[in-house]
Amino acid sequence: MGIIIRKADENDILPIQEMEKNIYSDPWPRVLFQLVLSRAADLFLVATQDEEIFGYIVGEIESEQSILLGHILNLAIKENWRNKGYGDTLLKEVEKGFLKKGASEAYLEVRVSNIIAQNLYKKNGYQIKGVLKKYYNVEDGYRMVKKFQQ
């Protein structure tokens, strides 16, 4: 069976959380996944094959001075699925959702040390717009922004 990108549901949270624990040193708690699922289910996407979740992206729409912004909260791909274009695919799908909701740009935060993720975002049109001091406890982060063509 092929790769499927679909909206996440409540049954996906446990496998996503397990995946998160294996990828990140500071994984999101279950309650945070449940919260974003309840607030923006159409912007919480999973990548699956044969019902195995191997990637996910979490986004939400925010309003800043009456401008709608897409915020990418989390993106993860299992190690053995990386470098195959699935991060690009998930990113593009959530951006489509941002555009449907009227966002004029998207932004995200990324660790200064996470060069691989930064390269993915740069390849997809994101630019570093600022340094977030100690955003990840002791490590700085970058704020990266992409303006959408209207």
Q: How many CA atoms lie within 13 A of 82 on its CB side?
A: 10
Q: What is the pTM of this model?
A: 0.93
Residue 143 near residue 103 (C-beta atoms within 8 A)? no
**Which domain range does residue 73 map to?**
3-147
Structural domains of the chain, count: 1
pLDDT given at position 150: 63
Q: What is the mean pLDDT of residues 85-114?
A: 96
pLDDT category of residue 115 using cuts at 50, 70 and 90: very high
- The burial of 73, by beta-carbon neighbours within 10 Å (0-12 exposed, 13-18 middle, 19 or more buried), is given as middle
The mean predicted confidence, pLDDT, of the chain is 94
CATH code of the domain containing 33: 3.40.630.30
Query: Residue 94 and residue 87: Cα distance in Å, rounded?
Result: 11
For residue range 20-74, list pLDDT tens digits in order. 999 988 899 999 999 999 998 999 999 999 989 999 999 999 998 889 999 999 9
| pLDDT of the residue at 98 | 97
